[in-house]
Structures are given as structure tokens and as C-alpha cells.
Amino acid sequence: MSDCSSSSNNNGYMRALVAACSLATACAFHSRTIPATTKVGTSALKVAVDPTVVTKKEFQDICGAEFDADSLQERLKATNLLYPKHVEVIEDIAPIAGAMVDEILLETGEKAWQPQDFLPDLSKEGWEDEVKEMRKMIAGVPDDVMVVLVGDMITEEALPTYQTLLNTFEGCDDPTGDTDSAWARWSRGWTSEENRHGDLLNKYLYLGGKCDMRNIEVTIQHLITNGFNPDARKDPYRGFVYTSFQERATKISHSNVGRLAGQYGDSKLRKICAQIAGDEGRHEKAYQTFCEEILKRDPDGLIMTFGDMMRGQIVMPAELMTDGKQQTLYDDFSAVAQNLGVYTAIDYADIIKHLVQRWDLENIEGLSSEAEKEREYICKLPERYRKLAERSMNKKKKVNEEDPKRSFSWIYGRSV
């Protein structure tokens, strides 16, 4: 009799639990207005649960954890970190990240520049003439410059991948999606500014009517699907060395495309590229400041990280781009950019030199013997890279006449 009673109680408990979970699910997708006659409480999940059916403790026991903001932070702290010392430093410089949010990032909303500021307003009279003028200017831009512009735009449009990367850096993540920490605010603010770049270039190319936008869109989807791996390994040190390098590289590329566009008579595109390059320059300054602050607290750690990354190669964000047809698309795009002088091996060497000077690595003292050797290696790298780059580029010039033309679906299969 007691067994039957126990079984009956268990069945009743399970039915009640299912009912509570069903109510929770319903509340996730519908209005949370509950009839006044219903007796309710609020669980840690912020959903309606009848406390006479399932208590908070029972719910927590079943779920295994309570997911309110405080307990979530405790769970995250309990997680084993790969780089505990690096995280300690990152937490210490969080006020610097907060300052960068206020000092480097622009205001949002009405006071911030937006893509529409550079484009014809299709709701106003005379927009047709503005579009015609745009098309007239872009018609004078050669196909090879257009290919590099499209490649840069596609790189910018893969922004979801880059924010995902930022959230893998230990100590810098945004665990709830709206976390109020300095690092989370920096990540979201940086992303919001970067989001404008792809939007603006995409709309400009669309209105310009010179490119196959569908094949470009296919390439964007492939790139986001494929992702990219800059070998950051969840390490904030590696992540910030990478972004310090990459933001400067992106600034150089946009600046040079704008310069070329201006030479061929497209003053609007020159202005657009200059605006985007300006954003990249501000962001570069922030990431390089983060590394500068890390150097003050853990010089050995950052220098060993920097040296290890330089023994490999800084991976470009669009390395895995494809249009589903051209397997060598990224290499072909890079070759065109190099031929035009938009972004070359010389630029790569110059960026390393800039970082060495920016962080004053020539004069840094108090290093361990191992870090001192790494410092010497890094400081000699720019000149070594430059010599190799010059030799490679001179060799390429000699065989340039034999360099095959490359066709791109982005420009309707035309060759450059």
C-alpha cells in the first residue's frame, strides 16, 4: 500500500514538473501576463512557476544549477582557466578598457556617422541623379581596384566571426550578452562601429551596378560559414597582439583603395574608404594600448607571446573565402592587392616595425633571460622581413609578364 502511495506521489510530482516546465516554455515565447486567479512565484530563470508544485530548491536540484546573474558569475569563476595569470592581468587593466569605450569609441545614435550619410537618400527628390553620378564615377575605377574593394568589403561583412573571436579571449568575454563589464562593453561597442563598414561598402557596390552582387553575397555566406582561426587559443595576450596587427593592416588596405579610387576620379569612394580607415585607426590605437598596459604588468608574458606569434604568420581574416567555384579565390585576391600595392609584404614588415616602436621594445628592461632573447629576435624581425619582401617583390616583377590573368565571379567573370 505504501509503495502504491509512493508511486502515486511520484507520478503526481512528475506531472506537476512537466506542467511547470510547459508553463516556463510558454512564457519564453508569449506574453507573460498571468490571470489574477493563478498563484505564481518567480524562479531563478525569471519564468512563472507555481511554488506549490515545484519549489525553487527542487527546480535547482533538477536543473543542476541556478542561472541568475550572480550564480552564473560564480560558475564562470569556477571554470578552469587556460591562462590564469593572463586573466589576472586582463582584469587589472579593465579600467583601461572602460576608458577606451569612452575615449576611443564614438557616440552612438544620431551623433554617430552612419552608412546613409554617404549614400543617396532614395526617399528624396533627385536621388536618381545622385545614383547616376555615383555610377559615372565608379565606372572609371579599373576592375583590379574593384576586386580589392570587394575583397575588403567581404572581409568586413564577416563581422559575426570576429565578435565570436573576441568572446573566446579569457577574461574578456560577454557571458550573458549584455554584461556590464568594461570588456563586454568594449566588445559590443567595437562591433557596432565595425558593423557600419560592411554595410556602407555593400550598399555602395550595389548602387554602383558594376559588380555581381549575388556572387559577392555567396562569398560572404561561405566566409562566415567557414570562419577563421587566427591561432589566438583563447589567450587574451595573443588576441590583442593579433588585433593590434590586424587593425593596422585593415587601415592600410582601406586607405590605399581610397587613394586609388581618387586617382581614377571616384571622390565619393575615396571619402568612404577614408572614413572607414579612420575607424580602423582608432581601434588600432585601443588594442595597442591594451598590449602596452599588459607589458607594464607582465612584460615577459607579452614578449614571449609576441615572439611565438611572429614565428608563425598573422592570418588574414578572409583567408577561407570562397565563392564556391574558385578554390584559389583568396590567393588570387591577395595577388591583385599585392600587384596594386594596396597591401604587400613590405606593409607586413612595416607593421611589425611599428609595433616594436609603439611598445618601445628596443628599450624595455628587467626581462628574464629567455624573454630578453625573444625581445632581441622581435626587434630584428622588421628588417629581416623587409629584405625578404623586397627580394620576393623584385623576383615577381621579373616574371610579371608571365603572371596569368585571374577571373572573378564578383565582376561577372572578367579577368584582371
Active site positions, annotated: 113, 156, 194, 197, 247, 250, 279-280, 283
Phi, psi values for residue 68, rounded to 5°: -80, 175
* Other Cβ atoms closer than 10 A to 309: 20
Q: Copy the grid coordinates of residue 109.
A: 545614435
Cα–Cα distance, 337 to 2 (Å, whole number): 81
Q: How far apart are CA 176 and CA 404, in angstroms?
A: 50
- Residue from 177, 125, 337 nearest 252 by CA: 337
Measured CA to CA, the distance from residue 355 to residue 347 in angstroms comes to: 12
Q: Which residue has the cell 585607426?
A: 281
Beta-bridged to residue 41, according to DSSP, are 49
The answer to whether the CB of 23 falls within 8 A of the CB of 48 is: yes
How many other C-beta atoms can be found within 10 angstroms of the C-beta atom of residue 58?
16
Query: Strands, DSSP E only, in 280-389?
Result: none
The residues, any chain, with a CB within 8 Å of residue 229's CB and separated by 6 or more, are 315
How many other CB atoms are there within 10 angstroms of residue 349's CB atom?
20
Q: What is the number of residues in the chain?
A: 416
For residue 28, give Cα distances in angstroms to 23, 48, 61, 80. Answer: 9, 10, 21, 32
Q: At what angle do helices 345-358 and 267-297 cross, to 10 degrees?
A: 40
Residue 396 grid coordinates: 615577381
Report how far residue 331's alpha carbon sits from residue 346's, in angstroms, rounded to the nearest whole number: 17
Helix (H) or strand (E) holding 74: helix 69-78
Q: How far is CA 3 from CA 6, 9, 15, in A?
A: 5, 10, 18
